[in-house]
Amino acid sequence: MFDMNLENIRVVMVSPLYGGNIGSVCRAMANMGLSDLAIAAPRKTDEGETRMMACHSVGIYDERKEYPSLAAAVADCGAVFGTTARMGLYRAHAATPREWAPRILEMAATAPVALVFGREDNGLSNEELALCSNIIQIPTTEEYSSLNVSQAVMVTCYEIFTAAGVYAPPEEKSPPASHDLRERMFAMWRQTLLQVGFMSEDKSDHMMMGLRRILGRGAYTEDDVRILMGMARQTAWAATAAQKLNERAEDPLVEDRV
Amino acid sequence: MFDMNLENIRVVMVSPLYGGNIGSVCRAMANMGLSDLAIAAPRKTDEGETRMMACHSVGIYDERKEYPSLAAAVADCGAVFGTTARMGLYRAHAATPREWAPRILEMAATAPVALVFGREDNGLSNEELALCSNIIQIPTTEEYSSLNVSQAVMVTCYEIFTAAGVYAPPEEKSPPASHDLRERMFAMWRQTLLQVGFMSEDKSDHMMMGLRRILGRGAYTEDDVRILMGMARQTAWAATAAQKLNERAEDPLVEDRV
């Protein structure tokens, strides 16, 4: 539904220092369905490292736009979201990327929305933060709150991508097994385990309690339960066949025939 | 609540190729409150790059444990979560890190839980995936599903950290403004704008509709609304003062005194 809106979301890097980080940002953007990269107040960086870290997303780097300042990079944006790990001044107005994501997508329906990421060494200046209409703060431990810039881009874009609902979770997944199906499976194993002599009738309730816990923990889906049922069925068949062979072996008439 | 359980979560890198990625993994772990790093079947990597990318989290690298194989690295784990971008064989049993996170924390209460990340070039082999009790698949676009290994670590650890509820969101945040407070603010502006002659009484309802939309959009919190009320109050005061000065200026008695 929000697929189109992702096109309206711009990642703005302010004066990045390391080419490798620019490349990692491109790759994170590509993973999460974004493509509009702006670099504000660019510095000289190692382009070889950018290309190496970008891997197959280097097209995003090649189509980046460069601007003399942050103000210029966000001039056409309807909303500007700054990221910061710093406490104090702006902390009171900050929210997490998960909290902001739906609003970012909503806003991106009508105008470009900028996500602004600061320098590796100094983050965003107070003047740059003042240009931001909203502040994003990524949850971290208090002990180490400074994220690598490309990791900050990844977490932010991941939350937006996830909120956009573009991602289709695995489809062929087997549905959870019903209570009934699980009970049938346990009943089959009970029968089989009696038959192979793993337990006697008088101990069977106690043994099955343990087995129910073990098998029940591992078998979530219909597929899981059907695999365990197949095992029980096959074991019972093999035991019966062996028994019959045994009976024949003990049968004097059979011996005659051998 | 789950703070302690984070200590029981182990990040296992299988044969990483690039020292920089190992360092970035350390930093992501530190950001998200993890510290147990294992490297299975290690290869020779550039330690200088590791230290550079790890920044202040290099202690995690220094305390890493190395194992000859993935099996050895996860031998004491109660659950082993493998990560893969590949479709097919294991896709049916995969779930997203957000879906798995509560279960990972639950399991980590009683035994170490491993999060396994494959080689930069080849991911995890089928044999290694078979060692995993559960599969994590990180949501991405279909077009570019291959994440940098440290980014995959970040997204996975971020989801676990977030689910653990360790992060305390900004506390001093002003509460959302109540409907009443907002209405009082609009009433003050109405009065002020009439007083300064911005609008006449007969146009005021129409003008206020526009202003309510504009101010209402920007002013979410009590603090926001109080700032706007202060502006209205001060504007009204200044207008009154100017008016009085004006009246005195037009008063012949005042002129006499000048």
pLDDT in tens, A147-164: 999 999 999 999 999 999
| C-beta separation of B25 from B11 below 8 A | yes
- A258 CB-near residues (< 8 Å, 6+ apart): none
Of 2.60.120, 1.20.120, 1.10.8, 3.40.50, the CATH number of B179-257 is 1.10.8
Q: Is residue B255 scored above 60 in pLDDT? A: no
Q: A173: pLDDT confidence band, cut at 50, 70 and 90?
A: low
Per CB-CB distance under 8 Å, the chain B contacts of A161 are 139-141
| C-beta separation of A110 from A78 below 8 A | yes
Pairing relation of β-strands A94-95 and B65-67? Answer: unpaired
Per CB-CB distance under 8 Å, the chain A contacts of B57 are 144
Q: Is residue A90 scored above 60 in pLDDT? A: no
Per CB-CB distance under 8 Å, the chain B contacts of A138 are 158
pLDDT value for A251: 62
Quote the minimal CA–CA distance from B149 to chain A in Å: 11
| Amino acid, res. B109 | A
Q: Is residue B215 scored above 90 in pLDDT? A: no
Which residue from B minimizes the CA distance to A32? B140
Provide the percentage of residues in chain B whose pLDDT is more than 90. 48
Quote the minimal CA–CA distance from B223 to chain A in Å: 10
pLDDT value for A92: 58
pLDDT value for B66: 98
Question: How far apart are the two ends of chain B, measured CA to CA in Å?
Answer: 75
Which residue from A minimizes the CA distance to B166? A141
Residue B249, token pair as written in the block: 């200026």
Query: Which 3 state secondary structure label does DSSP give A119?
Result: strand
Q: How far from chain centre, in Å, is Cα B7?
A: 21
| C-beta separation of B135 from B129 below 8 A | yes
Query: Which 3 state secondary structure label does DSSP give A123?
Result: strand
Rounded to the nearest 10 degrees, what angle do helices A19-31 and A47-54 cross at? 30
Query: What are the Cα distances from residue A160, in Å, to B85, B172, B208?
Result: 19, 26, 35
Quote the minimal CA–CA distance from A107 to chain B in Å: 12
| C-beta separation of A239 from A196 below 8 A | yes
| C-beta separation of A57 from A29 below 8 A | yes
Q: How far from chain centre, in Å, is Cα B166?
A: 13
pLDDT value for B213: 73
**pLDDT (mean) for B16-20:** 97
Distance CA(B27)–CA(B29), nearest Å, equals 5
Q: Is residue B123 scored above 80 in pLDDT? A: yes
Look at A151 and B24 and tell me if their CB atoms are within 8 Å. Answer: yes
pLDDT value for A256: 47
Question: How far apart are the two ends of chain A, measured CA to CA in Å?
Answer: 74
pLDDT value for B256: 47
Give the CATH superfamily of B3-164: SPOUT methyltransferase, trefoil knot domain (3.40.1280.10)
Quote the mean pLDDT of chain B: 86
Q: Is residue B13 scored above 90 in pLDDT? A: yes
Q: Rounded to the nearest 5 degrees, what angle is found at the Cα of B11, between the Cα atoms of B10 and B15?
A: 135
Look at A144 and B169 and tell me if their CB atoms are within 8 Å. Answer: no
DSSP A60: H
Per CB-CB distance under 8 Å, the chain A contacts of B223 are 92
Q: Is residue A244 scored above 90 in pLDDT? A: no
**pLDDT (mean) for A21-39:** 97
Burial status of residue B149 (CB atoms within 10 A of its CB: 0-12, 13-18, 19 or more): buried
Distance CA(A157)–CA(A137), nearest Å, equals 13
pLDDT in tens, B126-147: 889 888 888 999 999 989 999 9
**What's the pTM?**
0.73
Q: Which of B2, B7, B60, B141 has the highest number of chain A CBs within 10 A, making it the mutation to test binding with A?
A: B141
Per CB-CB distance under 8 Å, the chain A contacts of B172 are 91-92
| C-beta separation of B106 from B3 below 8 A | no
Around B34, how many Cα atoms within 13 Å sit in the side-chain half-sphere?
A: 33
Question: Closest by alpha carbon to A43, among A119, A106, A108, A114?
Answer: A119
Q: Which of the residue ranges A93-107, B53-67, B89-103 would you say has the lowest mean pLDDT?
A: B89-103
**pLDDT (mean) for A84-91:** 64
Look at B170 and A28 and tell me if their CB atoms are within 8 Å. Answer: no
Per CB-CB distance under 8 Å, the chain A contacts of B94 are 170
Look at A161 and B139 and tell me if their CB atoms are within 8 Å. Answer: yes
- Boundaries of every domain in chain A: 3-164, 179-257
pLDDT value for A253: 56
Q: Is residue A135 scored above 70 in pLDDT? A: yes
Per CB-CB distance under 8 Å, the chain B contacts of A223 are 92
Question: Closest by alpha carbon to B185, among B151, B156, B153, B220?
Answer: B220
Q: A206: pLDDT confidence band, cut at 50, 70 and 90?
A: confident
In DSSP terms, A38 is beta-bridged to A12, A65
Q: Is residue B81 scored above 70 in pLDDT? A: yes
Q: What ipTM was assigned to the predicted interfaces of this complex?
A: 0.71
pLDDT in tens, B159-205: 999 999 876 655 546 777 788 888 888 888 888 888 878 888 888 88
Ramachandran assignment for B36, one of left (phi > 0), alpha (psi -120 to 50 degrees), beta (any other): beta
Q: Which of A21, A155, A156, A221 has the highest number of chain B CBs within 10 A, making it the mutation to test binding with B?
A: A155
Query: What are the Cα distances from residue A83, in Å, to A166, B169, B245, B255?
Result: 24, 15, 48, 59
Residue corresponding to tokens 């299988």: B14
Look at B169 and A27 and tell me if their CB atoms are within 8 Å. Answer: no
Residue A72, token pair as written in the block: 């210029």
Q: Is residue A1 scored above 80 in pLDDT? A: no
| C-beta separation of A10 from A77 below 8 A | yes
Q: How far from chain centre, in Å, is Cα A201?
A: 47
B179-257 and B3-164 share a CATH fold:
no
